[in-house]
Amino acid sequence: MKIGNLTLEGTPLFLAPMEDVTYKSFRWMCKKYGADVMYTEFVSSEALVRDVKKSKQKMTLFDFDRPVAIQIYGHNIDSMVRAAQVAEELQPDFIDINFGCPMKKIIRHGAGAAMLRDLPKMQQMAAAIVKAVKVPVTAKTRLGWDSTDKPVLEAALRLQDAGIAALAIHGRTREQLYTGEADWTLIGEVKNHPQIEIPIIGNGDITGARKAKDLLEKTGVDALMIGRPAIGRPWIFREIKHFLQTEELLPAPTISEVVENVKEQMQLNLEWKDNERSAILMMRRHFAKYFPGLPNFRELKIRLLRAETNNEVTEILDEIVVKYGELTPDYSV
C-alpha cells in the first residue's frame, strides 16, 4: 500500500495511537517486534497552537520510529491547520487526524468522534489540512456515532475527496466506547466499495495471529492496526507477521524472556524520563498486562504495581523469573 509517496510492502502492521501508552519506550518495543508504522499519542491542536511543552514533547520523533505519524485532534479548523503546520516541522512521514476519540473531554468541544455527526465539517477540516502541508495526511475514525447512525462510508468518500491519503477505521461506534466486540463488516464494506481508492486500515480487537488472518481475508483491508492487544505483548506483531507468511503459530515467549523485555522497557523509561517515579508510573499499565494466566500470581502482581523504585521493581521481576521463568503467558485469559 501507499501513503502518499511512502510505500509499505505486504500487509503492514500499524501500532494504534494510544494516549499515555504509545510513547517512546513502548513504540521501541513494538518496533523491535515488527510493527511497521507508528503514531505518536494524539496531540491537542489548541494546546499546540499555545505552544504547550507537554504536547510538543509528545511529538518528539526518533529515527527508529520511521515511518511515523503525528496524530492531532481538535474542533477548530484554523487551529488544526496551524497544528498540522507545527507538526510538519518535526518531519513526520505523515500527519493523522483523529476523528474517532469517544472521550467526553474531547467530543464536548466537537472534536474526535463528534466529527462523525458533522461530515461536511470533517471534510472541510481534512481538505484545509491537506492543502496546508506537504506531507501526506491520513485520518482515523469509527463506524459512527451509535447503532442507528453509522456514516463511515460517507465519511470515507468525503475524506477521500478531501485528499486524505489513507483511512484507519476502528470497528466500533462512539457510543460503544471500548465495549462489545469490534464489528469488521462495515470496515469490509468500505474497503470493497467501488468508489473507494484510498488504502483502508482495519482496527479493533485483533487479539492474535489467527484472528488477524481471518479479518484480513474477510475484508481485504490494506493494513492491520493493533492497539490494546499489544500492551503486555509487543511480540504480537512478530506473531501475526509470521502467521501471515507461514500459517505457523509462534510459541509465546517464556516468562524469563518476558521479564527481559519488561526490564528493557523500564530502562528506556528511566533514560527518557528525568525522574524514577514517572518512569515507574508509566510502566504500571504495562506491568498489569505482561503476565496473564500465571498461577497464584496475585500477590506478586500487587507488589509490582505498588513498587516505588527501580530496585524494588527489579527485585520483584527477579522473583518472578525464579518462580515462573520456564512458563509462558496465557493469552487466552
Q: Binding site membership for FMN: which residues?
A: 71, 140, 170, 227-228
Q: How many CB atoms lie within 10 A of CB 304?
A: 22
Q: Which of residues 153-192 bind ligand FMN (CB under 6 A)?
A: 170
Tell me the closest approach of the beta carbon of residue 224 to ligand FMN, in angstroms: 9
Using an 8 Å Cβ cutoff, are 150 and 186 in contact? yes
User: Which residue, judged by CB position, is nearest to ligand FMN in the bound state?
Assistant: 227
| Contact pattern from residue 34 through residue 53 relative to ligand FMN, giving x for each residue in contact according to CB under 6 A and a dash for the rest | -------xx-----------
Q: Among this protein's residues, is 101 annotated catalytic? A: yes
The verdict on 204 binding ligand FMN (CB under 6 A) reads yes
In this complex, which beta carbon is closest to ligand FMN, that of residue 113 or of residue 259? 113
Q: Which of 61, 101, 137, 280 is catalytic?
A: 101
Containing 230, the helix (H) or strand (E) segment is: none
Pairing of strands 6-7, 2-3: antiparallel
Q: In sequence order, which residues have a C-beta less than 8 Å from that of residue 322 and are 6 or more positions away? A: none
Tell me the closest approach of the beta carbon of residue 103 to ligand FMN, in angstroms: 9
| Contact pattern from residue 218 through residue 237 relative to ligand FMN, giving x for each residue in contact according to CB under 6 A and a dash for the rest | --------xxxx--------
Cell triple for residue 75? Answer: 474542533
Q: Which of residues 290-319 bind ligand FMN (CB under 6 A)?
A: none
Q: How many CB atoms lie within 10 A of CB 124?
A: 14
In this complex, which beta carbon is closest to ligand FMN, that of residue 67 or of residue 325? 67
In this complex, which beta carbon is closest to ligand FMN, that of residue 42 or of residue 94? 42
Return the residue of 11, 55, 79, 98 that touches ligand FMN, per CB under 6 A.
98
In this complex, which beta carbon is closest to ligand FMN, that of residue 140 or of residue 158? 140
Containing 43, the helix (H) or strand (E) segment is: strand 43-44
Using an 8 Å Cβ cutoff, are 33 and 238 in contact? yes
CA atoms of 38 and 108, how far apart (whole Å)? 28
User: Candidates 18-26, 145-153, 247-255, 325-333 — which segment interacts with ligand FMN by CB under 6 A?
Assistant: 18-26
Q: How many CB atoms lie within 10 A of CB 154?
A: 15
Return the residue of 24, 27, 31, 140 that touches ligand FMN, per CB under 6 A.
140
Tell me the closest approach of the beta carbon of residue 227 to ligand FMN, in angstroms: 3
Return the residue of 1, 13, 14, 17 that touches ligand FMN, per CB under 6 A.
17
In this complex, which beta carbon is closest to ligand FMN, that of residue 87 or of residue 317? 87
Return the residue of 4, 6, 18, 263 that touches ligand FMN, per CB under 6 A.
18
**If we measure between CA atoms, which residue out of 162, 253, 223 comes closest to residue 38?**
223
| Contact pattern from residue 251 through residue 270 relative to ligand FMN, giving x for each residue in contact according to CB under 6 A and a dash for the rest | --------------------
Which residue ranges are tagged as binding site? 71, 140, 170, 227-228
Return the residue of 203, 265, 269, 310 that touches ligand FMN, per CB under 6 A.
203
Beta-bridged to residue 72, according to DSSP, are 43, 97
In this complex, which beta carbon is closest to ligand FMN, that of residue 8 or of residue 231? 231
Coil, helix or strand for 312? helix
Sequence letter at residue 77: I
**DSSP labels for 137-203?**
EEEEEEEESBTTB--HHHHHHHHHHTT-S-EEEEEEETTTTT-S----HHHHHHHT-TT--S-EEEE
199: left (phi over 0), alpha (psi -120 to 50) or beta: beta
The footprint of ligand FMN (CB under 6 A) covers: 16-19, 21, 41-42, 71, 98, 100-101, 140, 170, 203-206, 226-229
Just list the catalytic residues: 101
